[in-house]
A and B are shown apart, each in its own frame.
Chain A
Amino acid sequence: MTNAVTNVVAELIPHFEGYVYPNEATQQPLWSILIVLYPYITGLVAGAFIMASLVRVFNVKALEPVYRLSMLTAFAFLLCAPLPLLFHLGHPERCFEVMMTPHLTSPMAIFGFVYAWYLMAVLLLELWFDYRRDFVEWSEVTPGFRGTLYRLFTVGVTDVSDPALKLDFKIGHILSVVGIPSAFLLHGYVGFIFGSVKANPWWGNALMPIIFIMSAMVSGIALCVFNYMVLSWVRRKALDMKCLDVMCMFLFYALVVDAAIEGLDWIHRIYSAEEGFQVIQYMAREKLFYTLSLGQVTLGTLVPLLLLGSLQLLRRRVPDLIRRRMYFASGALILLGVLAMRWNVVIGGQTFSKSLRGVMTYKMEFAGLEGWYMGAALLLLPFIILTVFVKIFLSEKLPSTAPLEPHPAHAR
């Protein structure tokens, strides 16, 4: 970084080092906190869904207690996923043009369709088939508004005979199988939005979609662990330790793969040291120290790897209480680490000039559309929606059928 930093700085803009193109010398990054949240939330959706599919498609029985919670988590977050994208547009009122007159070479345009497909064809339908029998039952036992609500959810289909339920189960299974590639597609595309920008050496990278998918799985499973533990704590219910152990086992292996791919990416970058590597290196070292070295790598990856890894080896010897705390800590750290990773990609990619001769420093605002408050609100929103969902669809007061059996009498 010898020559770029010592370059003359355009006057009056002290937060730039070296030379940046005049149009890049803005006070705020073009894509800000909202665009950090967008891949984060989408990733949580994809991850939570894949977590649920472990039960449904891969028949991991131990995870059944979290199946519905994971599905509802995916749904709640999916509803919020397009919001940050929408709010950051210069002309949000024209957003439907993306769906109506899409320009098909644009990854962003394709995202609209992938999103709609995923929401309508996969998640909504699968949830409905999962819950249909419960809706019918609940609508009979629940009085008042709630009962009406459940009746509405049945959409008039009230047949709960054995063949009907079997069919539900089958369709649900098919949807789940279709859902897995869809989840990969959904988040792979988000990665591609960045990976396709060849102008930016930090983003333009064939590994980007894969890194995004892997980190999405990690963050989604971590979110399910987090939600499950919080929900049990709120409801004062005992945790199913077996389920938790298995969840965290998957979390660990996903994290291992994720860390390996991201490590490979770095090794490749360092070894090939292509044009722009100098400035990237400088940026990673100076501008992203806290979020990259500390947040993403140390707290978000190494510590959870250590915690979860040691539990894989010593699970039996660690008492439940300590194990629970270690799981919780790992889940929470991973959630933060992946958020930091999104930050590093999105903001990091905009802290150096495409002239490769300088770096920028931004000061984030607190208020305003792209400020911290907005970010916090958008991050909170899916949790609020999820709380409502849990109240309606995971109510403790209602009898719930084992979600994944066609019918007790007809279990496969």
Chain B
Amino acid sequence: MKSWLSRRNLLSRLSIAAAGLLAASAARSAKAAVQKVFASSGAPRGYDPAMHKWRMAIDANRCIGCGLCAEACKKENHVPEGQYFRTWIERYIIAKPKPGSGEARGETLVDSPSGGMHGFPESIVPNAEIQHSFFVPKLCNLCEHSPCVQVCPVGATFDAPDGTVLIDPKYCIGCGFCIQACPYGCRFLSPVTKTAEKCTLCYHRITRGLKPACVEVCPTQARVFGDLMNPVADDPLQQFYQNNLVQALKPHLGTKPRVFYAGIDKEVR
């Protein structure tokens, strides 16, 4: 039975090769896990992510749609020209119902020309016909059960212990799966780096004790930012939670956004 033996040999050689491949991959995974701690995140040396819980909250009642935040974000984070945004502002216009229509409300119109970066043009609905009009700044919702992290095939998108969701640009293979998986349209594939990008709460700033660029420039404090682990005196974030009933976006999807909104309507999604 010489050949049976040699075939068995062949099979066993094959399986050794397969096992070797698997072992190599396990080793690489372990290495990657270690690397992850030192993932290229833009944080300074000595920053301890376990000591912070960063949060942003949005008080839509205060937003005047000036668009400074979107502009500041583009500059600060070198967001590519054109239709790419880490943060943007939406304008909602809810018309009055037509007289005699028996409706509670008219149509809802939403727009965000250039992400609201240069403010908003005159509404096409005449003022007299508007029931409600408001602005909603949008950003990554820093989901607790983030679908983007779940689907990333290489783990380039990850949950940092400090409550942010980050992307390691050196690791991202640019497959775009996370962009499909984010229900909020927060991500884009950068035409420059060919990797996925999104809001990081200005990780390079907050880890150095600064505020995110958008929070810094907002003239009305519609964007509230803070650290749940290290509240300051009169902490704006704590006050926001104290004073408002809040909503999260698309809660039915179970993504558990960590960014809360005050003062938005059911039409916002």
| Interface residue B183 (Cβ < 8 Å from any Cβ of A) | yes
- Interface mask (A143-167 → B, CB under 8 Å = 1, otherwise 0): 0000000000001111101011001
Residues of chain A contacted by B186 (CB below 8 angstroms): 23
Contacts of A193 in B (CB 8 A): 177
B151 touches which of A19, A88, A108, A356 (Cβ 8 Å): A108
What number of A residues sit within 8 Å (CB to CB) of B?
66
Complex contacts, A349 vs chain B, CB 8 Å = 180
Stretch at the interface among B44-52, B108-116, B207-215, B216-224: B108-116
Contact of A19 among B4, B10, B111, B124 (CB under 8 A): B111
Kindly identify, within residues 1 to 33 of chain A, every residue whose CB is under 8 Å from any CB belonging to chain B: 2-3, 6-13, 19-26, 30-31
- Asked whether any CB of chain B lies closer than 8 Å to the CB of A355, the reply is yes
For residue A65, give the distance in angstroms from its CB to the closest CB of chain B. 28
* Chain A neighbourhood of B110, CB < 8 A: 7-8, 19, 355, 357
> From A112, which residue of chain B is reached at the shortest CB distance?
B153
**A:70-111 near B, CB below 8 Å:** 88-92, 94-95, 97-103, 105-109
Give the A-B contact count at a CB cut-off of 8 A.
Answer: 182
Q: Cβ of A90 and Cβ of B172 under 8 Å apart?
A: yes
Whether B28 lies near A164 (C-beta < 8 A) is no
The answer, yes or no, to whether A53 is at the interface (CB within 8 Å) is: no
Q: How far is the CA of A349 from the CA of B155 in the complex (A)?
A: 24
Give per-residue flags for A108-126: 1 if the beta carbon is below 8 A from chain B beta carbons, else 0: 1100100000001100000
- Known contacts A13-B83, A22-B185, A102 near B111 by CB under 8 Å: no
Contact, CB under 8 Å: B10 / A157: yes
Which single residue of chain A is at the shortest CB-CB distance from B150?
A105
Closest B residue to A30 by beta carbon equals B176
Q: Is B235 an interface residue (CB 8 A)?
A: no
A interface, over-half SS: loop
Q: How far is the CA of A103 from the CA of B3 in the complex (A)?
A: 41
| A243–B189 CA distance with the chains assembled, in angstroms | 50
Report B-chain residues with C-beta under 8 Å of the C-beta of A19.
Answer: 90, 109-112
Q: How distant is the Cα of A24 from the Cα of B175 in the complex, in angstroms?
A: 16
Q: Which residues of chain B have C-beta atoms less than 8 A from A90's C-beta?
A: 172-176, 189, 193-195
Shortest distance from the beta carbon of A111 to any chain B beta carbon, whole Å: 8
- The B2-19 residues at the A interface (CB cut-off 8 A) are 2-4, 6-7, 10, 14, 18
Q: Does A321 count as interface, using CB distance less than 8 angstroms?
A: no
Question: Which residues of B have CB within 8 Å of A357?
Answer: 110
The interface residues of chain A lying within 8 Å CB-to-CB of B90 are 19
Docked Cα-Cα span, A200 to B184, in Å, equals 10
Contact A120 B18 (CB under 8 A): yes
Smallest Cβ-Cβ distance to B158: which chain A residue: A103
Q: A2-B107, A101-B28 are in contact. Are A31 and B150 (CB under 8 A)?
A: no
Q: A8-B110, A101-B29 are known contacts. Are A196 and B10 too (CB-CB below 8 A)? A: no
Interface of B with A (CB < 8 Å)? 1-4, 6-7, 10, 14, 18, 24-25, 28-29, 31-32, 83-85, 88, 90, 107-115, 121, 124, 138, 147, 149-155, 171-177, 179-189, 193-195, 252-254, 269
Q: What 5 additional pairs, Cβ within 8 angstroms, besides A10-B111, A101-B32, A357-B110? A: A19-B90, A101-B31, A108-B177, A157-B6, A158-B3
- Name 12 A/B residue pairs within 8 A (Cβ), A-sorted: A7-B109, A7-B110, A8-B109, A19-B90, A19-B110, A23-B83, A23-B179, A23-B187, A90-B173, A161-B3, A164-B7, A167-B4
